[in-house]
Amino acid sequence: MSAGPITPEMERLLRKVNVAVVATVAPTGTPNLSLKGVVDVDSRGMIYFMDLYRGKTRNNLKKNPRVALTVFNVKEFQGFQFKGTAELINSGPLFDKMVKAWSAKRRNVISKRIVQNIRRGHSHGRSEARFPRPKHLVRVRVSKVYSLVPASYRPGP
């Protein structure tokens, strides 16, 4: 476990995988897991993602801002769990900047998927092109980080 800033290794994985499993808890105590696209990350300990549907994640965070995010790369046998406090942002320069970054990432993903589907000769029929415009940016201030790699597989003493 570590506290404080996000290391370059963690930042690289967040940017490469680009998707996190986000855990929140409803006021009833019911856990909720949701896949969220990571929009940005910085070494000061902030992770940003968009809330598109204003559903369970947003409602849970309004009542209880504690959150956990898990990212992993099965091929590299690497992953982290980030715990922290979330803040919902729905306007202002930071929101506008992140919506622009999210839109650019979405266009890139869609373009790559179209090319892959043409090469493979098929499509799954779903597309990020149908995503609604983001309503809220979620900024997570990371307070603790846990490696998902068993200690016996980690380098070092």
pTM for this predicted structure: 0.78
Tens digit of pLDDT for each residue in 35-64?
A: 888 888 987 889 999 887 768 899 999 999
Nearest residue to 140 (alpha-carbon basis) of 53, 52, 36, 68: 68
| Model pLDDT for residues 85-142, shown as the tens digit of each residue | 999 999 899 888 988 887 777 666 655 666 666 666 666 555 554 555 667 889 999 9
Judged on CB neighbours under 10 Å (0-12, 13-18, 19+), 129 is: exposed
- Rounded to whole angstroms, the Cα distance separating 51 from 87 reads 11
At the second CATH level, the architecture of 2-120+130-149 is Roll (2.30)
Give 147's strand partners.
80
